[in-house]
Chains A and B, each alone.
Chain A
Amino acid sequence: MSAVNHSPSADAILACEGLSKHFGGIRAFTDVAFQARRGEVTAVIGDNGAGKSTLIRCLVGVHVPDAGDIFFDGRAHPFANPDEARKAGIETVHQNLALIDELTVAQNLFLNREIVRRIGPFALLDRKAMKQQARAMLSRLSINMPSVSQRVRRLSGGQRQAISICRAAGSGAKLVVMDEPTAALGVQETANVEALIRRLREQAVSVILVSHNFDQVRRLSDQIWVMRAGRMVATVRGSETTGKELVALVTGAA
Chain B
Amino acid sequence: MSAPAENASSREAGAAEESRPSLAALLLDPSFWADWASVVGLVGLVIVFGIAQPVFLSVANLQALLLAAAILVVLSIGQTFVVATAGIDLSLAAAVMLGAIILGLVDAAGYGIFLACVLAVAATSAVGFLNGALITAGRIPDFVVTLGTLSGVTGLGLILSGGEPIMVGSTFLLRLASGSFGPFGYPVWVAISAVLVAHIALYHTRFGVHLLATGGQTESARSLGIRTNRVKIAAYTISGFCAGIAALLLVARIGSAEPQINTSLLLNSVAAVVLGGVSLFGGRASILGPAIGALMLTALVNGLTLLSVSAFYQPLAVGAIVVLAALIMRYQK
Chain A residues with a Cβ under 8 A of chain B = 57, 62, 81-87, 92, 94, 97-104, 106-107, 111-112, 114, 116, 119, 122-128, 146-151
Contact = CB atoms under 8 A, between A and B. Distances in A.
B212 A102 contact: yes
Given A128-B2, A147-B15, A103 B209 contact: yes
Contact of B216 (A84, A85, A103): A103
Given A83-B227, A86-B224, A111-B226, A124 B200 contact: yes
Contacts of B219: 97
Contacts of A146: 18-19
Contact of B224 (A82, A101, A116, A119): A82
Contacts of A124: 1-2, 200, 204-205
B217 interface: yes
B209 A149 contact: no
A153 to B, nearest CB: 8
In the A-B complex, the 8 residue pairs with the closest CB atoms: A149-B14, A83-B225, A102-B283, A97-B223, A147-B18, A102-B216, A97-B220, A100-B216
Nearest to A63: B223
Interface of B: 1-2, 6, 13-15, 17-19, 200, 203-206, 208-210, 212-213, 215-217, 219-227, 279, 283-284, 333
Contact of A112 (B6, B15, B19, B210): B210
A127 B1 CA distance: 9
A125 B204 CA distance: 5
B14 A112 contact: no
Contact of A107 (B2, B209, B220, B279): B209
A125 B283 contact: no
B2 A127 contact: yes
Contacts of B226: 83, 111-112
A161 B221 CA distance: 16
Contact of B1 (A57, A114, A119): A119
Nearest to A101: B216
Given A85-B225, A100-B220, A149-B17, 18 more contacts: A82-B223, A99-B220, A100-B212, A100-B283, A101-B283, A102-B215, A103-B212, A103-B213, A103-B283, A111-B224, A112-B225, A119-B1, A125-B209, A147-B14, A147-B18, A147-B19, A149-B14, A151-B15
B290 to A, nearest CB: 17
Contacts of B215: 102
Contacts of A116: 205-206
A67 B158 CA distance: 50
B283 A111 contact: no
A162 to B, nearest CB: 16
B292 to A, nearest CB: 21
B181 to A, nearest CB: 25
B216 A112 contact: no
Considering residues A87, A98, A102, A119, which has the most beta carbons from chain B within 10 angstroms of its beta carbon?
A: A102
B87 to A, nearest CB: 16
6 contacts: A100-B283, A103-B209, A112-B206, A116-B206, A147-B18, A149-B13
A178 to B, nearest CB: 13
Contacts of A127: 2, 6, 204
Given A100-B212, A112-B210, A125-B205, A62 B1 contact: no
A107 to B, nearest CB: 6
B47 to A, nearest CB: 33
Considering residues A81, A84, A98, which has the most beta carbons from chain B within 10 angstroms of its beta carbon?
A: A81
Nearest to A149: B14
A128 B5 CA distance: 13
Nearest to A129: B2
B11 to A, nearest CB: 10
B1 A149 contact: no
A127 B208 CA distance: 13
Contacts of B220: 94, 97-100
Nearest to A82: B225
B206 A125 contact: yes
A149 B1 CA distance: 18
Contacts of B204: 124-125, 127
Contacts of A148: 14
A87 B123 CA distance: 36
Contacts of B13: 149
Contacts of A122: 205
A183 to B, nearest CB: 17
B332 to A, nearest CB: 11
Contacts of A92: 223
Contacts of B2: 124, 126-128
A84 B13 CA distance: 34
Nearest to A115: B206
